[in-house]
Amino acid sequence: MSAPAAKGPITRLLELAALVGLFALMLGVDRITGTLPGAWQRTGRDLAAVGFFLLAGTLASSLLEVLRLPHLTGFLLAGIVAGPYVLHTVDHETVADLSIVNSLALSLIALAGGAELRLEAVRRGFRGLVAATLVQNGLALLVIPATFVLARDLVPFTRGMELPAVFAVALLWGVVAITRSPSAVMGILSQTRPAGRLTDFTVGFVMSSDVVVVVLLALVMTGVRPLLEPGATLSLAAFGELGHELLGSVAIGTTLGLLLVAYLRFVGRQVLLVLLLLGLVVVDAIAYLRFEWLLTFLTAGFVVQNFSRQGDKLLHAIEHTGEVVYVIFFATAGAHLDLPLLRTLWPAALLFFAVRAVTAVVGARLGARLAGDPPELRSWGWAGLVPQAGLALGIAAKMQGQFPAFGAQFGALAVAAVALNELVGPVLFKLSLDRTGESGRGSAAGG
């Protein structure tokens, strides 16, 4: 498969002019939609925002190719500049309205992530995955909470806390820190079409880490509650709920995967519409039943890939939505980033970002050495573990409901730290694929 021809300076200038024109057009959307009656104003602004994010994100990512940055960076920057904290071309209400699009995007990302988990690759790298999981999570849960306790004066809401309470909050922060970003990984894979040991390891580790985080979160929240709430006691009910959530999610995901196999084999038409229906309807149903819908879709994709011959057909159908899904998801994520908040909390957020990244590097090299992994994993196995996105923010939101005394400020700090990981992580992962020579192998093999 031949590489696309490089774009000349005239083309780049035209792209830049088109991007500036789009921003100018969006600045006039309020005036245009203001002539619409009632609720149609909100609908018109939402549709305009979706179209704007698609076009602006695509143009920004194309312009950043000159700097060899990943497309995701362009999507994020387009959202940040257009969002409520810079040019305000897209307001807070519109960003909130697009949350349904984010749920759709995450469901398709999880489905594709499960379909990328091939049993053969998992078996081949099983020893390395186990070693990395134990070392990465063990090291992070020691180093990051210890850093949080030592740096508690940088965190406004812990300054007046007793030391046991600070220790409890630090453990909760440790769980947030070990979350990864399947969406960022899949976005880079969608752009670069890589193949190789680093790709297989990163997909396997990142996709399986959601299960580890869900388990650890329940354990830690149950264990620290007595330190944060006077009179609270350890309860075994949470462990029963955890087992119900995990087993139920896997069971529903297996059933959903088998239904997709039957549909792809015996019908095979309008697959995109079926995937959209799953993302828009099934997600809400699973959440209502209090199951983990990301794990459900991950399981479904894994079943389709490894227990049928329909895996490639499923991935091909998801790829048709690929660029659209990733542009809207990451542009909306960029618009969500609270820049004034990041400016307020940047010393603590920067410290925790740096410690998390260093821990990932040390943990990856130690785990790879213990497992006897090849040199590319020893050198670059950490790069795909830096990005963070939805799961970390979901845990932070859960903290607000479970621990109202500090939950809002905890969530604010999480947003600030995730913002840094979200901006830097995809760049590092793409760099690692380029340096190891894995970028483009998948497309070459298939082309």
What does the pLDDT look like over 261-293, one tens digit per residue? 999 998 888 887 888 888 778 888 887 787 877
pLDDT at 2: 44
pLDDT, residue 407, reads 77
Distance (Å) of CA 131 to CA 263, 272, 304: 38, 38, 27
Q: How far is residue 422's CA from residue 242's CA, in Å, rounded to a whole number?
A: 28
Which run of H or of E encompasses 313? helix 311-336
pLDDT above 70: percentage of residues in the chain = 89
CA dist., res. 53 & res. 18, Å (int): 13
Contacting residues for 173 by C-beta, under 8 A, at least 6 apart: 144, 145, 148, 352, 410, 413
The radius of gyration computed from the CA coordinates of the chain, to the nearest angstrom, equals 22
DSSP 3-state assignment of 332?
A: helix
**Could you say which residues of the chain have pLDDT below 70?**
1-6, 30-42, 231-239, 242, 322-323, 389-391, 393-394, 397, 400, 441-447
Sign of CA dihedral 399, 401, 403, 405: positive
d(CA 392, CA 395): 5
| Distance from C-alpha of 16 to C-alpha of 298, rounded to nearest angstrom | 38
What are 39-96's pLDDT values in tens digits? 666 677 778 888 888 888 888 888 888 877 777 788 888 888 888 888 888 888 888 7
First CA to last CA across the chain, in angstroms? 5
pLDDT at 446: 42
Is pTM, for the whole model, over 0.85? Answer: no
Please give the pLDDT value at position 23.
86
